[in-house]
Structures are given as C-alpha cells and as structure tokens.
C-alpha cells in the first residue's frame, strides 16, 4: 500500500501543471476582451484564440483542455465586464466588501460556457475540423447564456464588428440575415482558422472582403428606403430627453422636485423644437412624441395625476409621451416600467420590463445575502406593440432587455419602430454603456426597425433600420435630441426566422467538422 506522502506530491504536481496550463489562456482571454466595444481591436482576436487552441491541443487530458477554456472565458469576461464594479462603488459605504465580486463573479459564472467547447472540440483531429467544431459549440453555448438566471447574453463576439461610424455600418449588415450570433460563429471561425497557414489566411481575408462587400451592397442599396423622407405621415418626430442625473442623486432621492423640474424644462424645449421639425417634414405635420429615460420620473407616475398634468402642460402640442417610471402591480410587487401618456395626461399604455438584470433587479436564490434593493422586481410578460392614436406602432424596451437578439419585438404584431429607455449612470463613463449601445444598434439591423433610445446620462440616439446613427447626445450631457423617425424596412430574414438561423449554421458547422472523421471520433482518457 502506497504511503500518503507520494499521493500528496502527485496531486500537488498535477495541480501545478494544470494551473500553469491555465496561465496563458487566462491572459489570452483578457486580451480578447479588447476586441469588444468601444475598442474593437479585432486583429488581437486570432492571436488570442491561437494561444487557446495551442493549450487545448497540447493538453494531456480533456479535463485540462476544459480548464484552459475555463481560464480563457474567465479572462475574457473579467476584463470585458470590469465596469460592473462601478455599480457597487456608488453604494460603497454599504457594499464595500462586494466590490471585487460583480465582474469576477460574473466571469466565474460565465467561464464554463468557454470550457465546454474547449473540451468537446477534442473529439476531432487537430486542424480546421477542430476549429470548426470549437466555433460551433462556442456559439451555441454563447446563445445558451440567455437561459442563465434571467439571462445574460452580454458581449457576444459578433458585436466586435459594431465599430463606430461608416465601417461599422457596413460590417454589421450581415446581422439582418444571420443575427449577431451568426456573426459570432463566423468571427470565431475566422479567428481560429486564419493562423493555420497562408491558405487559410487568404481564405479569411477573402471572407472578410465578401463580408464587407455584401454589407456595403445592403447598406447603400437600402439607403433610399431608410431615408427619413420616405417615412409616412404617422412616423413620429421624437424628442429624447437626457436629464443627466447622477445615480447617487437618484438613489438618495435628495431633491426629487428639482429633478422633475429639470425634465419638465427639457421636455418643453424639446417638444417646441419637435413641433417645428414635424411641420417641415414633407410639408405635413407629423405626430410628436417625447421620451424620458428609464425611471426618469422620481416617483410612481401611474398614481400621480398632478405630475402627469404638469408633464402634459410642459409638452403642450405633443401627441404622446413615453416615460420611464417604477410601478406597483396589482400583486403589490414593483415593476420597472414605461407608461405612455396621451395629450390629456391619461395613461394610454403600460409596459413592464420583461427581462431583469441578475443581481441588480433580480436576485438568484442561491445567493445567501440580500444585495438587490427591495428584494428585486417582478418581470412583465415580454415584447409588446403599442398602438397609440395618431402614430406608428411602437415597441417599448427597458434598458437591458434590448441585448436579447431575436426577442425585442412582437413578431405577431410587428411595430414600426422600437423605443428603448435606459439608465446607464450606474456604470459610469466606461465601456459598459458603449457595449450596451452596440447591442441597440445590432437590434435595429436584425429587425429592420429604427430605434429611438433615451438614456439618463447618455448615450441617447436614433438609429435608422440599417443601424446608421442619425444623431446622438453623448455621455454626461444634459439636453434634448430631436429627430424625425425614419421608416421601417421589410422584415429581415432574421426577423422572420430568428435564432433558428444561427442554430442551424452552428449545427451545419459541427456536421462538417464531424462527418469526415466520424470513424475516428473518440475522447482522450482523463486518467
């Protein structure tokens, strides 16, 4: 019988080897995060994945390959989500002990989604087949993040292409056909195969050229259809109100009256400008809609007729208003909502946020300590279209739920435009709000719908149905953005079939990887 000492030495040695094997993938994952918005350093991605694939190929067991994938995923999300710490720093006096956990904790939860493809891809030989299988499983796992808690599909690699300006306008157009998840699949395939040799690098360059060429054809080919001048008489002119209220001020509720008066003043100014704009468009008056950001009203608007009356007086001449507010449901649970006000101040429609932020608005049961204020929110039923008198049907979205590809519009009752209200003040002037903005832009392309976004501290913006920026208010500015909403395009291929498209592409990629070597499919022993 062997003594315990050699067993301990053997265990320590294996642990040391495993940890050393995780170091480079961990660093590579952190480097890969620099390809996310707003940096978009895409040339780094092939080098990062090259490090990961070498670690997978050289791992003596499948378990150690999975650990390499885990380390890569941890590094990717720890760096990519660094900005989550800002939300805790706002309440540092209460939750100082929790400061390291948001980004590192989320990375720890998300890392297994990278471990799975690292393990599974070893069932095919080293080379392009392994790369194809890895990309397919990576994308399927990435899509699976929507089922984690209340969902967390932040930062798919397909969003790396949402570069600011014309380059991004062109490169994100394939989202109309295959969605951001299909773009993730192609991105990972390109990143993995281009380092395999000159032929594969040439194929990769040609693929990117075709990608850009098809994007340019779509973007410029639809320019006349997406032009504001093509909008019908029910297309609204929107006044997006950006109050720029610091989150500390919102939490303390120290001067709610002053905040409310600020929004009234901005609304009055914005509506006056919108009324002038609406009279110029095609020589006919268009409806005017003002939009306040998420929880902009410092109270419960549905239960405050006096406040609603003050709002409509400030917005005299507008046809309707969309205001972010909290709401108490009939079950006595709080909702994060938007309400639509008519010209008289009546509540014409209500929408409750359907997908809640894990650890922010929704606390998973496994968490032993109460960190979500008030015990969290209750979700609404999902995407809806508002048919308000006088203007094009609108699809309301509150903050975070705009990141869910294929789940932002009621496809049985398609709206003419999407309106997204948000408050990114929690995360400061960091990468977080820009990553959020990239998601908004991709939803416009995927659905073929223009989007108006009102953000408390920025960025408030209007995108046309091609994801083209028609005007914005940058971060940290108090003001109003007035724009005529452009028309919707015909339902895109992705809008019609949704995530069935990227799932099918992933399955085809996996079959291509598996089929030629099916007689040699085997797993390496973990012993």
| E-assigned strand segments in 299-408 | 320-328, 334-341, 347-352, 394-398
If phi > 0 it is left, if psi is from -120 to 50 it is alpha, else beta; for residue 390 that is left
Phi first, then psi, for residue 271 (nearest 5°) are -65, -40
The C-alpha angle with vertex 34 and arms to 24 and 181, in degrees rounded to 5, equals 100
CATH H-level superfamily of 236-488:
Carbon-nitrogen hydrolase (3.60.110.10)
Alpha carbon of 187 to those of 21, 161, 384: distances in Å?
25, 9, 32
- Give 525's pLDDT tier (boundaries 50, 70, 90): very low
More confident: 417 or 6 = 417
Measured in degrees and rounded to the nearest 5, phi and psi for residue 411 equal: -75, -10
- Token pair of 334 as six digits: 């709080």
Mean pLDDT of all residues belonging to the chain? 90
As a whole-number percent, the residues of the chain with pLDDT over 70 amount to 89
Task: Write the DSSP string, 5-30.
Answer: HHHHHHHHHHHHHHHHHHHHHHHHHH
Q: Which segment of 114-118, 133-137, 180-184, 370-374 scores lowest on mean pLDDT?
A: 370-374
Note the pTM of the prediction, 2 decimals: 0.91
Q: What is the DSSP string of 56-125?
A: HHH-SSHHHHHHHHHHHHHHHHHHHTGGGHHHHHTTHHHHGGGTTHHHHHHHHHHTHHHHHHHHHGGGS-
- Residue 38: asked if its preceding bond is cis (omega within 30°), the reply is yes
Least confident among 123-127, 331-335, 469-473: 331-335
Average pLDDT for 372-385? 82
For strands 394-398 and 417-422, give the pairing.
parallel
Task: List Cα–Cα distances, 93 to 97, 146, 248, 252, 367, in angstroms.
Answer: 9, 32, 12, 13, 20
Whether the predicted pLDDT of 163 surpasses 50: yes
> Residue 329: what pLDDT?
85
CA distance 355 to 374: 17
- Nearest-angstrom CA–CA distance, 174 and 446: 8
Residues of the chain with CATH 3.60.110.10: 236-488
* Sheet bearing 237-242, strands edge to edge: 347-352, 334-341, 320-328, 288-291, 237-242, 479-484
Q: Is it the case that residue 267 has pLDDT exceeding 60?
A: yes
């Amino acid at each position: 019988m062997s003594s315990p000492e050699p067993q301990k030495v053997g265990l320590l040695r294996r642990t040391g080897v495993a940890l050393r094997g995780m170091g480079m993938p961990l660093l590579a994952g952190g480097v890969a995060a620099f390809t996310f918005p707003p940096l978009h350093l895409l040339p780094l991605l092939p080098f990062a994945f090259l490090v990961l694939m070498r670690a997978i190929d050289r791992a003596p067991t499948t378990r150690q390959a999975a650990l390499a994938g885990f380390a890569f995923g941890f590094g990717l999300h720890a760096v990519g989500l660094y900005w989550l710490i800002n939300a805790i720093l706002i309440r540092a006096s209460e939750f100082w002990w929790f400061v390291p956990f948001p980004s590192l904790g989320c990375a720890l939860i998300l890392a297994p989604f990278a471990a799975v493809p690292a393990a599974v891809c070893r069932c095919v030989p080293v080379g392009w087949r392994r790369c194809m299988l890895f990309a397919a499983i990576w994308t399927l796992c990435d899509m699976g993040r929507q089922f984690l808690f209340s969902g967390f599909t932040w930062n798919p690699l397909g969003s790396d292409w949402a570069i600011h300006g014309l380059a991004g306008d062109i490169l994100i157009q394939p989202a109309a056909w295959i969605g951001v998840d299909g773009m993730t699949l192609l991105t990972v395939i390109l990143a993995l195969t281009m380092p395999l040799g000159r032929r594969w690098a040439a194929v990769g360059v040609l693929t990117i050229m075709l990608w850009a060429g098809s994007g340019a054809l779509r973007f410029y080919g639809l320019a006349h259809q997406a032009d504001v001048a093509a909008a019908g008489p029910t297309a609204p002119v929107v006044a997006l109100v950006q109050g720029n209220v610091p989150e500390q001020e919102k939490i303390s509720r120290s001067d709610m009256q002053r905040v409310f008066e600020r929004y009234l003043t901005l609304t009055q100014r914005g509506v006056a400008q919108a009324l002038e704009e609406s009279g110029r468009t095609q020589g006919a008056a268009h409806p005017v809609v003002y939009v306040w950001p998420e929880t902009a009203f410092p109270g419960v608007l549905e239960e405050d007729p006096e406040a609603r009356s003050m709002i409509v007086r400030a917005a005299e001449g507008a046809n309707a208003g969309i205001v972010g507010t909290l709401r108490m449901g009939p079950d006595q649970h709080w909702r994060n909502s938007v309400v639509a006000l008519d010209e008289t101040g009546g509540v014409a429609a209500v929408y409750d946020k359907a997908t809640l932020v894990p650890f922010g608005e929704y606390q998973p049961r496994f968490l032993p300590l109460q960190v979500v204020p008030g015990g969290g929110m209750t979700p609404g039923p999902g995407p809806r279209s508002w048919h308000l008198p006088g203007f094009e049907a609108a699809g309301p979205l509150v903050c975070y739920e705009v990141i869910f590809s294929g789940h932002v519009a009621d496809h049985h009752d398609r709206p003419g435009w999407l309106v997204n209200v948000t408050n990114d003040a929690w995360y400061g002037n960091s990468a977080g709000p820009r990553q959020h903005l990239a998601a908004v832009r991709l939803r416009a392309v995927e659905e073929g719908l223009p989007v108006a976004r009102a953000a408390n501290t920025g960025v408030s913006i209007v995108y046309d149905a091609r994801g083209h920026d028609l005007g914005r208010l940058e971060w940290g500015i108090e003001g109003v953005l007035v724009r005529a909403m452009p028309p919707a395009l015909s339902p895109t291929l992705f809008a019609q079939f949704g995530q069935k498209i990227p799932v099918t592409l992933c399955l085809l990629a996996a079959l291509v990887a598996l089929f030629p070597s099916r007689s040699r499919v085997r797993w390496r022993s973990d012993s």
